[in-house]
């Protein structure tokens, strides 16, 4: 489990297709503190570390990405050598829960439709896949590219969030552009509430 609080910006250094897609990501994390088999959320996608090391003083880890994961995320569209990704290590017992509970299982891809500066912050409007829109509520939480954010307003499948300067500087949100595909994970609580309502209607 994760919290949606990004702790590093990694850089994709290499991609190789060997059945599944193998990706190497450079990181500031100490490779000695990363276990083989550990999970790391990479722009919101929970991936398993299969190898790690240091090259030219640069720490790195490798992950494998299945075709199913590529079909549900922005990896196929956005990940290439030099691309930056938001990274988060798993939540440990006793850690502060600063965002919200995030599983790292991306539900779909939202699209950025508008970017507007408001004071020092930036309002970002996105279009969610229609089947996921019912799970997004005003003042609720969503994970976008792994970042825990609060929904400001909802209008059909369109919703917006505010990104503060700290978030822009500590994540990949500072390089956002209109049309960008964004990994979207809906709030787990919203999913279960919707499921309970469906069962009551049966």
Torsion from C-alpha of 26, 30, 36, 40, nearest 10 degrees? -60
Tens digit of pLDDT for each residue in 36-74? 999 999 999 999 999 999 999 999 999 999 999 999 999
* Burial (CB count within 10 angstroms: exposed 0-12, middle 13-18, buried 19+), residue 22: middle
Tens digit of pLDDT for each residue in 128-174? 999 999 999 999 999 999 999 999 999 999 999 999 999 999 999 99
Structural domains in the chain, sorted by start: 8-88 (2.40.30.20), 108-201 (2.40.30.20)
pTM above 0.85, yes or no: yes
Dihedral over Cα of 87, 93, 97, 101: its sign? positive
Q: How many CA atoms lie less than 13 Å away from 86 in the CB half-sphere? A: 29
H or E segment at 78?
A: helix 75-78
Residue 19 makes CB contacts below 8 A (sequence gap 6+) with none
Would you say residue 22 has pLDDT above 70? yes
- Residue 40: closest CA among 123, 51, 99: 51
Least confident of 13-17, 123-127, 189-193: 189-193
């Amino acid at each position: 489990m994760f919290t949606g609080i990004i702790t590093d910006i990694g850089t994709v250094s290499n991609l190789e297709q060997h059945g599944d897609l193998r990706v190497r990501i450079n990181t500031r994390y100490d490779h000695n503190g990363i276990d083989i088999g550990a999970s790391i959320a990479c722009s919101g996608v929970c991936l398993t570390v299969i190898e790690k090391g240091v090259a030219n003083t640069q720490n790195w880890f490798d992950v494998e990405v299945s075709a199913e994961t590529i079909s549900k995320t922005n990896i196929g569209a956005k990940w290439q050598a030099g691309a930056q990704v938001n990274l988060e290590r798993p939540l440990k017992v006793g850690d502060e829960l600063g965002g919200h509970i995030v599983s790292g299982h991306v539900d779909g891809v939202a699209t950025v439709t508008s970017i507007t500066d408001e004071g020092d912050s930036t309002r970002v409007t996105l279009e969610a896949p229609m089947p996921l829109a019912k799970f997004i509520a005003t003042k609720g939480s969503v994970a976008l590219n792994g970042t825990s954010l609060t929904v400001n307003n909802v209008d059909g499948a369109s919703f917006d969030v505010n990104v503060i300067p700290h978030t822009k500087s500590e994540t990949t949100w500072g390089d956002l552009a209109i049309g960008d595909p964004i990994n979207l994970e809906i709030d787990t609580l919203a999913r279960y509430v919707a499921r309970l309502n469906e069962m009551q209607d049966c």
